[in-house]
Structure 1
Amino acid sequence: MSRDIDVLVLGGAGVDTIVHVPQLPLPYADSYMIHDGIRTRAGQTGDFVALGLAALGLRTHHLDLLGDDPEGELVRALHRERGIALTAVPQPAGTKRAVNLVGPDGRRLSLYDSSRGHPDDRLPEATLRELAGRSRHVHVSITQPCAHALPVLRESGVTISTDLHDWDGENPYHETFARAADVVFVSAARLPDPGRTLRRIAGRGRARVAVATAGAEGAHLLADGELTRVPAVRPPAPVVDSNGAGDAFAAAFLFGHLNGEPPRRCALYGALAGAHACTVPSTRTDAIGRDGLLARAAGADA
């Protein structure tokens, strides 16, 4: 079968409503005036990874469940506008949605609507096998349908990556994904010892590379048994929102990984893309392009 897809992105399609608040945590009050407006746009973790991969020139296909609702149409429209192939499986419970409270410093607090899904939700096995068979790599979101998809992906022989987000290093649900993936991303936010967690991921699973992103403090990289620190890079413009920075990091890292770059170079690409994402307002969906990424990488070398 022809490998006409570079990366198949599983899960993580949805819609966010963005609310800029005067501070986080937000003190209790009867009401707040939101002068920047309250805006709803397509884009959750799978959408942002797919967007980042496509912007870097990788042939990208996104597979997830979507509702026949206004939120689902926003997601479909985003993929149409950006030329990203989308296979949408009907979701009677509706399209995933969340509310993001964004503080003045760009930090966010996300409120996820867990009613739009059920533990027994599945991606159709025949569709999953067909798309995985056409793909060089699969990036898996940590949603319930994707958990059920892991055995099929392992049988297909395709390489896998996943993002554990703010895992605490203990929750067994996340560990299932960590053990199944060849490349693992995780936020260091809730990890008391990121290096120890990365070594545990590699020791218990099949990961050849594991990365713990730490925002302005850079990242921790474990590759070939060696643990190193990756410095943060200076954003090219003022930081306005951290939403999507981790997804941008993962997309750019995978761009380097699939092009045969060494892990340290992949991590530099990730840091540059993550820094770019922090300069994009949360009401927009934008990603660094291939030429821009390579130019900034060359500048970092210099």
Structure 2
Amino acid sequence: MTGPGAGPADEPRHDVLVVGGSGVDTVVRVDSLPVPLADSVGVGPIREWPGQTGGNVALGCHALGLNVKFLDFIGDDWTGGQVREHLAKGGVDFEGMHSPSGTRRAVNLVDKTGRRMSFHDARDPEDLRMPREFYLPHLERARHVHLSITNFTRFLFDDIIEQGVPVSTDLHDWDGMDTYHREFAYRADLVFLSAAGARERIGPVMREILREGRAQAVVATAGAGGSYLLTREGSRTPRPVPATVPPAPVVDSNGAGDAYVAGFLYGRLAGRSLDDCAHLGAIAGAYACTVEGSSSLITGEALRSAR
């Protein structure tokens, strides 16, 4: 655990600075979703997977060959130890500040098709803030920032925008109405979300993000249905991006959206078109569905050869 102001001044430039969103998922495999009401249900082995959205994006970007820095609050508990160990094994340069409420947790139910239902325990206190002297030196060296929608990260937007660094975020299953997500939706340059939240309203929600915010592009992922891309240029109708056929049977959709984000950012930082970036994201997301948790991530070489 490091404190404010840590990190040498000559640290290499970060391709991606990820802030917030680490934790541990407890994955429970069930026959189907929703789970039938019963006093007790027999299941297969229950697994613990460190990572969560911020950790998964950081790991995915690093696996693709990008220089990644990851900052977050984390607990001095056994789950925090799991996160630190997992990130270290994945080669991610992580610096954590002490979280008084412990490491974030989630319980994810995953059915036989790989679909999931997540119960997320964010646990961060409302007044939690990351000191500027801790994150600013890293921000000044970043080519791109990815903010998880943990509450404290919203207070980094002013500095990020002042520095002129592009910023992305993932709204997950935002329905377009919950006010918690709006600042993230309207202040990010690149916005990802799942189509599952808004469902048939996903088109209007994507248009609202462009109309009310500063985003240059909005991406809605739809699992096996592919994804949708809406940009400031061209049609007001989101463009469909076909799903990529996974290279092996689907076993777990946990982390697929985060892998999509990593693949998209890889393309963006390489100067690819937004449509091309969405295609790269689809490949990375499909690959992630073929393994449990974030135990295996696509490399840059494999992503390029799969196109």
Q: TM-score, normalised by structure 1?
A: 0.94
Of 116, 119, 124, which residue of structure 2 is paired with 1:111? 119
In structure 1, runs of 5+ residues without a counterpart are: 298-302
Equivalent in the alignment of 2:223: 215
The runs of 4+ residues in structure 1 deviating greater than 6 Å are none
In structure 2, runs of 5+ residues without a counterpart are: 1-8
Determine if the alignment matches structure 1 residue 131 to structure 2 residue 138: yes
Mapping of residues 117-266 of structure 1, within 5 Å: 117-191=124-198, 192-226=200-234, 227-266=238-277
Matched position secondary structure for 1:101: strand
Matched position secondary structure for 1:134: coil
The one-letter amino acid of 1:113's match is: D
Contact 2:210 / 2:232 at 8 angstroms: preserved in 1? Answer: no
The one-letter amino acid of 2:297's match is: A
Residues 256-276 of structure 1: per-residue CA shift (max 9 Å, x gap): 001100011100000001111
Distance between the aligned counterparts of 1:211 and 1:69, measured in 2? 35
Equivalent in the alignment of 1:300: none
CA RMSD of aligned residues (A): 1.4
Distance between the aligned counterparts of 2:46 and 2:71, measured in 1? 28
Distance between the aligned counterparts of 1:193 and 1:295, measured in 2? 35
Contact 1:269 / 1:293 at 8 angstroms: preserved in 2? Answer: yes
Give the drift of 1:288. Answer: 0.6
Equivalent in the alignment of 1:64: 72
The one-letter amino acid of 2:256's match is: A
Contact 1:5 / 1:136 at 8 angstroms: preserved in 2? Answer: yes
Q: TM-score, normalised by structure 2?
A: 0.92
Matched position secondary structure for 1:249: helix
Determine if the alignment matches structure 1 residue 39 to structure 2 residue 47: yes
The one-letter amino acid of 2:31's match is: P
Give the drift of 1:173. Answer: 1.5
Contact 1:63 / 1:88 at 8 angstroms: preserved in 2? Answer: yes
Distance between the aligned counterparts of 2:202 and 2:32, measured in 1? 28
Contact 1:235 / 1:278 at 8 angstroms: preserved in 2? Answer: yes
Residues 6-25 of structure 1: per-residue CA shift (max 9 Å, x gap): 00001010001111112211
Distance between the aligned counterparts of 1:144 and 1:81, measured in 2? 27
Equivalent in the alignment of 2:6: none
Residues 205-230 of structure 1: per-residue CA shift (max 9 Å, x gap): 11111111111111111124234211
Of 58, 62, 67, which residue of structure 2 is paired with 1:54? 62
Equivalent in the alignment of 2:297: 287
Matched position secondary structure for 2:306: helix
Matched position secondary structure for 2:108: strand
- How many residue pairs match? The answer is 294
Equivalent in the alignment of 1:19: 28
Contact 2:168 / 2:189 at 8 angstroms: preserved in 1? Answer: yes
Give the drift of 1:123. Answer: 1.2
Give the drift of 1:102. Answer: 0.8
Distance between the aligned counterparts of 1:71 and 1:139, measured in 2? 23
